[in-house]
Structure 1
């Protein structure tokens, strides 16, 4: 953004205490009448400045969103697909350290709930108790 948050909130630039105590161009050439007119003009256009900054901010967010989404590949799994399940650190066998397996399985997708949520079952047909998000699953290739 081209404007400071203080200017967007209050309509003018902030003055630090050193400027006031030591003197600066703004303090040395201070004129009460001109200052009031300038302040009134700044307050008249502050809404326009806020709107411009809002539009600029939304455009930047849209560009970032498009750049991110260009690299995202949506994945969907169907019922009956074989998948591997990610092992969290809690479920890894103790004593194996960093060499422990990160994935376990294969499992079969028993039911698709939508929005990336799946229930799994073992290859023998026993259902697993929880639902799993697609971020914790990956397709198993035989």
Structure 2
């Protein structure tokens, strides 16, 4: 199915004039300080479009330009709240595990340490290792069950 370039412009315009969840505002209003008139309102006049004149619109546009900074600040606050909400919902299923010296652990296999011929059914974890010492928050130095230190752990 082929699409014409004029349809792409309408899609982009719709994206710019749709309020976003994170800010509560349209991208157009955050840039220009006022709401855009969509093409459908021009072809099918609404009360907002038909009752306004150029003379009445100029002072309103000047007011909206002075209030655009407040609109952007409110959007920044809403973005911070939205990010906290998303982080809270993401982190609610996180289980923090702390290992002590001598605990048996498994090590995750990363693409750079994975066997090249293993394929997609390769194990995601390797070892049985002993935690030798705590290096930092959530970082441990590992050794094999034979007592050999694992480099880079």
State the TM-score, normalizing by the size of structure 1.
Answer: 0.70
Change in Cα spacing, 1:87 to 1:2, as seen in structure 2 (3 Å) is closer
* Alignment match, 2:64: 42
* Alignment match, 1:76: 98
Question: Which one has the bigger strand percentage?
Answer: 1
Q: Which residue, 90, 93, 117 being the options, matches 2:139?
A: 117
Task: Find out whether 1:60 has 2:54 as its counterpart.
Answer: no
Change in Cα spacing, 1:45 to 1:18, as seen in structure 2 (3 Å) is same
Moved over 6 A (4+): 17-20
Structure 1 stretches lacking a partner, 5+ long? 132-142
* Alignment match, 1:136: none
Change in Cα spacing, 1:28 to 1:101, as seen in structure 2 (3 Å) is closer
Aligned equivalents of 2:120, 2:74: Cα separation in 1: 54
Aligned equivalents of 1:34, 1:96: Cα separation in 2: 69
* Alignment match, 1:85: 107
Q: Secondary structure, in 3 states, of the residue corresponding to 2:100?
A: coil
State the TM-score, normalizing by the size of structure 2.
Answer: 0.66
Q: Secondary structure, in 3 states, of the residue corresponding to 1:7?
A: helix
